[in-house]
Amino acid sequence: MMEPFIRFCLFHTVLFTVVGVSNSLHDGPLTLLISFDGFRWDYLQKVDTPNFDLLISNGSFVPKGILPTFITKTFPNHFTIATGLYEESHGMVANNMYDPELKEKFHIGDEDSTSSKWWDVGAEPIWVTNQKHGGSSGVYYWPGSEAEIKGVRPDHYKKYSKTTSFKTRIDGVIDWFTGDNPINLGLLYFNEPDHTGHQYGPDSDEILDVISMCDNTTGYLIQRLQEADLFDKINILITSDHGMTELTADHVIQLSDYINTDLFDLVDSGPVAAMNPFDSRNILTVYNALAKKHPNMTVYLKDDIPDYFHYKHNPRIMPIIASADEGWRVVLNKTSLLNNTDKGGHGYNNRFKSMHPFFIAHGPAIKQNFTLDQFNNVDIYPLICKIMEIKAAANNGSLAVAGTMLESHDPHHHSFKPIKISKRLIIAIIIAGGIALIAAILLTGMCVKQRSYRLKDYVPDVPDKESRKALLSEAEDA
């Protein structure tokens, strides 16, 4: 009668041990990547930001902001952050572009702009990398997340709507982290302060209000994470795609002043204009007509674009590129800006300070009260892979600087592997141990009894606000 029970105990000892080793996604690193579109590196100086301050004082901070990729537009830089690739490498080279192989144009916001033909051209975003390694990803409005890439879509994603409240977006991501099939990686996008920066300018009173609103949004995020018992368990990376600069109506360069505009298609305009001559034999004609014609415009043939821009080795980059000085815009003619009243803009040379976004990190993998030097936004992808303990796809990033914010950073080692024992595993071990002990006692009793019969037959277990302002001031002077 006792032998079946002992076999039952031994079987469940093994079962509980195996189940205990099979950890849930929440037993490994959790990461939430957040973008406040157009949040310039020095916006934190303009108003009190107690919630951002909380994360800074208990996390890591880049006083000078990080370096975005050229061109400093929304879709290109968000996809760079997600893939760790320069724009020439991942193919999303502008908000408006032409693909000579597809013979089609891409325009940000068009219904067709979420098609895989634009996004699935070789790059691997972090949500795909995470899912390839057994993780689960939730992406709330990140550019590229609505497209199938490498045969994969995020486990959870939303079709973009700018009218969705910021609280609703936060609640949605929290639900993904706490649901029946929880995610271990989340991406979250907010379209401010970019919208207000364009409308009123980065030095307006209105921008002060929206910075405070972004800080309150962060406070709500902290509150919801605390309520879900996740705040101390999740690694939060908060950044942006670019900064913002002031625009004036008189700082406009009209191409029609210098050339017959019927010779080319102006694929994109603004801080960086992209020109595609209708006849390739006219490339030099167009270039020579524009080069050195305006003191605030630099014109490049594609092959002559400086290497440090990492912006020429892609067919979607047009044969002629004109880059405007800060605050200037390149347009086709005087009617191009007829209905444009923007007082702020971006897209300029990524070396301009006004184009640099902010960066804050907080969480169990992140050093506390730590400041680090400026790094490139291509470094964020490998940083997340390091935190998540997954192998990164090919990328242009480096952990030489960004990796110093990690608690267990080793410049000579390529993976961040903190030792973690899950509560589930501990409980399973205790249960298994208890069952094993009972089985052992019963088995010992039987063995003693059996032995007695045989014998009978023979023999009887942040920096404070003022200090941070000083750091920002030093960074601005540098």
Just list the catalytic residues. Answer: 74
Strand pairing partners for 97? 106
Q: Which of 300, 411, 349, 317 is nearest to 67 (CA)?
A: 349
DSSP code per residue over 346-386: --S-TTSGGGPBPEEEESTTB-SSEE----BGGGHHHHHHH
Alpha-carbon span 406 to 353, nearest angstrom = 26
Omega of the bond prior to 193 within 30 degrees of 0, cis?
yes
How many Cα atoms within 13 Å fall on the side-chain side of residue 198? 14
318-351 b/e (C-beta count within 10 Å ≥ 16 → b): bbbbbbbbbbbbbbbeeebbeeeeebbbbbbbbe
- Residue 55 tokens read as 């994360």
Could you tell me which residues come within 8 angstroms of residue 395 by beta carbon, excluding any fewer than 6 positions away?
A: 83, 84, 85, 378, 381, 382
Q: State how beta strands 252-254 and 329-331 pair.
A: parallel
DSSP code per residue over 81-113: HHH---HHHHS---SEEEETTTTEEEETTSGGG
445-459 b/e (C-beta count within 10 Å ≥ 16 → b): eeeeeeeeeeeeeee
Alpha-carbon span 257 to 266, nearest angstrom = 15
Count other Cβ atoms within 10 Å, centred on residue 437: 12
Helix (H) or strand (E) holding 189: strand 185-190
- Tell me how many helices (H) and strands (E) the chain has: 13, 18
